[in-house]
């Protein structure tokens, strides 16, 4: 028969043992919780977001980035490297009547305006550049406001504004300087600097203008 002291010792050992077992269980449960949380976090980090149709599309490149390298020799080499004459004609044909109408109204060479339109947009009336130029003639919003354009994506309004702006620039400067200001902005012109992309633009426009005239002379 246990006396009081023996009973207390036995009870103490039992309680101590239970405390050790209980604490070990708590440690195990806490460790299991931490491992589970870490695995969940890693799974989220490694998960792949759903792919949308937009993600599957190739990144759009600026027009200048997709041009064929220019040949070292040959007349109109810069324009010939841009596209075949048939491609140029097909791109310009839908807009030719508007170009002719407004070039006559504002006194601009139609071949020059056609060259600007093709080099700027390839005949796409809804194109938007990385810098925010809009439509067929790549009119900036500031130019659209200056030319009082209501809908910059309307082909007629866009061409009218572009041709009118070219006419205004040519009266203010010479043709080459007008192209510089058209592409880079009057502010850049006043800073007496010409970006390399603007030099390329001027070369391509003037070369295409010459090619268009040559094609017309062949058909006469």
* Enzyme catalytic residues: 120
Q: Which two tokens stand for residue 171?
A: 């009266």
Residue 171 to residues 64, 134, 157, 178, 189, Cα–Cα distance (Å): 28, 24, 21, 9, 15
Place of tokens 């810098």: 131
Measure CA 152 to chain center: 18
Residue 114 to residues 65, 95, 163, Cα–Cα distance (Å): 21, 9, 10
């Amino acid at each position: 028969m246990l006396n009081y002291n023996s009973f207390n010792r036995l009870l103490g050992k039992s309680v101590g043992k239970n405390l050790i077992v209980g604490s070990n269980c708590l440690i195990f449960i806490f460790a299991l919780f931490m491992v589970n949380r870490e695995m969940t976090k890693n799974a989220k980090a490694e998960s792949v977001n759903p792919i949308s149709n937009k993600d599957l599309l190739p990144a759009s490149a600026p027009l200048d980035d997709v041009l064929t390298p220019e040949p070292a020799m040959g007349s109109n080499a810069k324009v010939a490297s841009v596209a075949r004459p048939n491609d140029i004609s097909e791109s310009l044909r839908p807009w030719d009547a508007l170009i002719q109408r407004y070039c006559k109204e504002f006194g601009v060479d139609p071949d020059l305006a056609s060259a600007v339109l093709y080099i700027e947009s390839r005949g796409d009336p809804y194109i938007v550049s990385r810098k925010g130029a809009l439509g067929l003639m790549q009119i900036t919003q500031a130019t659209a406001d200056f030319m009082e354009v209501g809908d910059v994506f309307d082909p007629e309004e866009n061409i009218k504004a572009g041709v009118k702006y070219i006419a205004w620039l040519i009266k203010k400067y010479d043709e080459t300087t007008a192209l510089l200001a058209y592409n880079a902005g009057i502010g850049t012109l006043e800073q007496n600097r010409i970006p390399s992309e603007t030099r390329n633009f001027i070369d391509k426009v003037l070369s295409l203008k010459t090619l268009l005239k040559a094609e017309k002379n062949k058909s006469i």
